[in-house]
């Protein structure tokens, strides 16, 4: 397996985790009842953020070194920063504020991973 294939797979994982984070964030009010209350746990939010941080750290620099497009790591690191800020702010901001930060961070990460995939594939 080549480094390019590994990074492509990691970007795909990043897109899936970011989408899962977005779904978790937006569907939380609907899912946080009954048997699915564990979904509302801050542990889920923290776990997704840690997993995404690992993926971003593994793909941002190698991707940039390959395609030399600064916009890609800017998207990836900005999205990650928003997710981390939402986790750290926690109870100090409103639920709507946390949801907005998480949703924006997730969408920014999705864009960053898709750009990274496309740029890496287009670069010989």
Smallest CA-to-CA distance from 83 within 114, 46, 33 is with 46
pLDDT of residue 3: 66
Question: Is-contact 11 59, C-beta < 8 A?
Answer: yes
Q: What single-letter DSSP state applies at residue 40? A: G
Residues in the chain: 124
Per residue in 71-120, pLDDT (tens digit) is: 999 999 999 999 999 999 988 998 889 889 999 999 999 999 999 999 99
Judge whether residue 68 has pLDDT over 60: yes
pLDDT tens per residue across span 17-56: 999 888 777 776 665 555 555 555 678 888 899 999 999 9
Global confidence as pTM: 0.84
Give the 3-state secondary structure of residue 69. coil
pLDDT at 54: 95
For the chain, give every domain's residue range.
3-122
């Amino acid at each position: 397996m080549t480094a390019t294939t590994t990074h492509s797979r990691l970007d795909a994982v990043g897109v899936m985790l970011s989408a899962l984070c977005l779904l978790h964030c937006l569907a939380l009010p609907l899912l946080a009842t009954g048997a699915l209350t564990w979904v509302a746990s801050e542990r889920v939010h923290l776990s997704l953020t840690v997993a995404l941080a690992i993926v971003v750290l593994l793909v941002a620099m190698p991707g940039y070194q390959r395609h030399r497009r600064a916009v890609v790591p800017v998207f990836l690191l900005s999205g990650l920063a928003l997710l981390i800020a939402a986790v750290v702010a926690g109870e100090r901001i409103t639920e709507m504020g946390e949801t907005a930060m998480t949703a924006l961070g997730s969408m920014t990460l999705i864009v960053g991973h898709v750009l990274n995939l496309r740029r890496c594939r287009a670069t010989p």
